[in-house]
Every structure is written in C-alpha cells, then in structure tokens.
C-alpha cells in the first residue's frame, strides 16, 4: 500500500514538473474567476437592505422585499416591461435569424476576393462604438438628414419623417441598428459550423440530383442545428439584457414611452439617483428570470429535439 502511494506521489510530481506552466495559468484563471465572479455575489445581499455608501450593513437596515415591491408598484412598470419584451422579441426573432441567413448566403458564394470583401464589410460594424453609431444615425435620420432628403426628392414623402422624435419608429430603428452592428460578428459561429460539415454529404447529394436549395434544406441546416439550438438557448438567458447605452443615446424625451426599458430604468433611478439597493434588486430579479428561462428553454429543447446544453 505504501509503495502504491509513493508511486502515485511520484507520478503526480512528474506531471507537475512537466505541466507546471499549464498549472500556473490555471491557478491564475481560478484566482481571477473567484475575485471577479464569486466574491461579487455577496453584493446581492444589498438588495434586501437600505444601503448607503460608507455605512455598514446592519440588521436594522434590513427591508426584505421592499425594493422588489417598489419596482412592481411603480406606475412605469408595465410600460418598461412592455418595451423590454418587444425589443427582446424583435432581437430573438429577426435578429437571431438574420445571421443564419447571411451565413447560408456567404456559404453559397465561391471562394474569392468578393466573398472576403463581403465578410470583412459585415464584420466591421461590430467594432464601431455605439456612440459613433448613434451619432451617425442621428445625423442621417434627423429632419434635415440625408435619408429624409432622399425620400423627399424621390417623392415618397411630402415632409420630413420624424424618425427620431416619434416613438413609433424607435423599436424598428433600435432593432435595425442592433442587427446591422452585430450581424457579421454573429455570423462567424455559423460559418464555422458550416465549415465543419463533411463535404462528402454534398457530393452524395449532387449524385442524387439534389438542388442547391435542397442541399441547404437537407444537409446544411440539419448539420448546424446543434449550433443554432445552443446559441438560441444561451440568448434566451439574455432576454431582459438589452443594454442601456443604445436607448440613452438614441432616445429623445418625446419617445421615452418607447425606449425606457429595465436597463435604462435601473441606470436612471438606481445609479443617477443613488438608489443602489433598488438597482441591485432589479438586477437580481433579471438574473433569476434569465436563469429560469435558460433552464426552461433547455428542457424544452431536450424534450422536443435531441439537442441541449446539458
């Protein structure tokens, strides 16, 4: 028994000596993960207290679910949830499908300079700051912008369209910019999945007389379906996370009823007005709902298909 233990220690020591660099970087990653992902979890306790910066949390400041109740009793709650769900729904439908369509179209292009140029152009918007994107959109879409000038010269409208000052245009504008900015980047994953498809399947399809659309329908789409399901399940978890920068940059006071979402509400009332416990409570609620949605989507995917994340 002692010989076996000595041999095991010797083997472990030899592995450590041969893999010490790997163990070193693994240790650094674990430390980073604990510091920035585990320790901050303690902060969720602030959601149940009346927190004031610089003051220690004590049980006399415990308020339970007061901040959660305050959010749902707010007169703006229904409007905020409506805007969040509408924008999320547009991103989860149109925004999720467009990268798949672009990946299929790019796959149909022959290898050459044109395909590389198209790919590069589609990736570039992802690296542009939202500040720049919003500035360009405002310049192009205001009453004296290029878009209105073109529409009026072509005779489609008699007067400038208030794209930025009427709320009914905001949902479409925000969705369009989200798709434009992330389309090429999101396509990369699907292009990688398509590149991994066995080419012999296409050769067999050609022998059987399957058209190009048939190859897409019966070979390409089924082959990348695991990737599609995986990304869809993960995106479900971010259903309520839309980001606040885009809405704050593009929104106007006259369109607040359409651009005010949970993230902007938390930023304005929680951060700007110093209601930190209130903002933490709403963020905690969002995280729990996102976690529940991920498990629900995964369960449905496992029940109705053979693909799931666990």
How high is the mean pLDDT of the chain? 86
Q: Please, is 297 exposed, middle or buried when counting C-beta atoms within 10 Å of its C-beta (0-12, 13-18, 19+)?
A: buried
Question: Under 8 Å CB-to-CB from 200, ≥6 apart: which residues?
Answer: none
Structural contact between residues 170 and 246, judged by C-beta atoms closer than 8 angstroms: no
CA distance 299 to 153: 54
Rg (the chain; Cα; Å): 26
Question: Under 8 Å CB-to-CB from 104, ≥6 apart: which residues?
Answer: 190, 194, 216, 220, 221
- Which pLDDT value is given to residue 209? 82
Structural contact between residues 308 and 302, judged by C-beta atoms closer than 8 angstroms: yes
Q: What is the pLDDT of residues 147-183, one digit of tens each?
A: 999 999 988 888 899 999 898 999 999 999 999 998 9
- Which pLDDT value is given to residue 28? 92
Structural contact between residues 118 and 109, judged by C-beta atoms closer than 8 angstroms: yes
Between 273 and 10, name the one with better pLDDT. 273
Q: What is the pLDDT of residues 229-284, one digit of tens each?
A: 888 888 888 888 888 888 999 988 889 999 999 999 988 888 888 888 888 899 88
φ and ψ of 275, to 5 deg = -90, 70
Angle at 35 between CA 29 and CA 40, to 5 degrees: 135
Q: What is the pLDDT of residues 86-123, one digit of tens each?
A: 999 998 889 899 999 999 988 888 777 888 888 888 88
């Amino acid at each position: 028994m002692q010989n076996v233990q000595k041999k095991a220690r010797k083997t472990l020591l030899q592995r450590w000596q041969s893999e010490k660099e790997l163990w070193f970087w693994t240790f650094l990653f674990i430390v980073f993960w604990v510091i920035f992902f585990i320790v901050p979890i303690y902060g969720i306790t602030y959601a149940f207290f009346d927190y004031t910066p610089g003051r220690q949390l004590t049980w006399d400041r415990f308020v339970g679910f007061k901040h959660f109740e305050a959010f749902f009793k707010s007169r703006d709650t229904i409007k905020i949830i409506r805007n969040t769900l509408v924008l999320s729904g547009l991103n989860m439908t149109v925004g999720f499908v467009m990268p798949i369509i672009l990946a299929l179209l790019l796959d149909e292009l022959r290898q050459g300079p044109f395909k590389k140029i198209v790919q590069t152009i589609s990736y570039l918007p992802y690296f542009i700051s939202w500040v720049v994107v919003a500035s360009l959109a405002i310049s192009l879409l205001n009453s004296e912008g290029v878009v209105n000038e073109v529409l009026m010269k072509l005779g489609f409208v008699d007067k400038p369209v208030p794209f930025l000052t009427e709320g009914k245009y905001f949902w479409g504008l925000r969705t369009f910019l989200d798709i434009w900015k992330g389309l090429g980047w999101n396509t990369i994953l699907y292009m990688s999945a398509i590149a991994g498809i066995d080419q012999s399947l296409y050769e067999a399809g050609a022998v059987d007389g399957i058209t190009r659309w048939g190859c897409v329908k019966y070979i390409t789409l089924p082959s990348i379906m695991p990737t599609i399901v995986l990304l869809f399940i993960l995106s479900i978890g971010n259903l309520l996370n839309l980001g606040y920068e885009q809405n704050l940059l593009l929104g106007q006071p006259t369109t607040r009823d359409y651009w005010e979402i949970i993230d902007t509400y938390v930023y304005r009332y929680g951060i700007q007005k110093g209601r930190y416990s209130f903002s933490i409570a709403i963020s905690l609620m969002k995280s729990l709902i996102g976690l529940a949605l991920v498990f629900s989507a995964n369960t449905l995917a496992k029940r109705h298909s053979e693909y799931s994340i666990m």
